[in-house]
Chain A
Amino acid sequence: SQTIHQWPATLVQPVGSPLSLECTVEGTSNPNLYWYRQAAGRGLQLLFYSVGIGQISSEVPQNLSASRPQDRQFILSSKKLLLSDSGFYLCALEAGGPTGELFFGEGSRLTVL
């Protein structure tokens, strides 16, 4: 069965510091992968999605970037965090090809101070 791992689970970072959140999946090959952000009390905002190694599409212009160095690895990064980057970051795996069911990782809660 498919599993999805995210780390770190929580982190507190100062404004201007870098960020790296990692997502890895198991039990599937060549999955579509997604990064979502959820601000407190808000909905799910799609940040990036990837259909394969090195293929990244950005939904929202911002100071975040994503990379997919391996088939089952998806990384979210920032060179300099802003206060507005605080939130709950969720990696998701799409099952069954395009527009299939999304499985979410357990999330990474980021607080920028």
Chain B
Amino acid sequence: GENVEQHPSTLSVQEGDSAVIKCTYSDSASNYFPWYKQELGKRPQLIIDIRSNVGEKKDQRIAVTLNKTAKHFSLHITETQPEDSAVYFCAATGNNRLAFGKGNQVVVIP
């Protein structure tokens, strides 16, 4: 089945700097790649997603890039703010279901 890995497991950034989280996946047939943000004690919420027919998608301060050849995709957060502190999960389709990575803890230091 699909195997999704996230790096790094924890990332600390200074407020205003950029944060980048990378995910790799194993199933070359995967075609849907969402990113979820989970604040402490809350449910995961979709923040951005990308399908395999595009290489990049942007929504205000967040963007996702996809490299299907290398089988990796990344989340980019620019001008980080304290409210960006959360756990971020990437996922990829596998066997018609989403396979999640283990999550990245992002800490934005004021």
Interface residues of A (CB under 8 A from B): 42-44, 46, 49, 90, 98-107
B 62-79 binary contact with A (CB < 8 Å = 1; else 0) = 000000000000000000
Contact of B103 with A99 in the complex, beta carbons under 8 Å: no
Interface residues of B (CB under 8 A from A): 31-32, 34, 36, 42-46, 49, 89, 93, 96-98, 100-103
B interface, by DSSP: helix, strand, loop or mixed?
strand
A contact residues around B45 at 8 Å (CB): 104
Contact of A43 with B32 in the complex, beta carbons under 8 Å: no
Residue contacts A-B, CB under 8 angstroms, 21 given: A42-B103, A43-B89, A43-B101, A43-B102, A44-B89, A46-B97, A90-B43, A90-B44, A98-B96, A99-B31, A99-B32, A99-B96, A99-B97, A101-B34, A101-B46, A102-B46, A102-B98, A103-B46, A104-B43, A104-B45, A107-B43
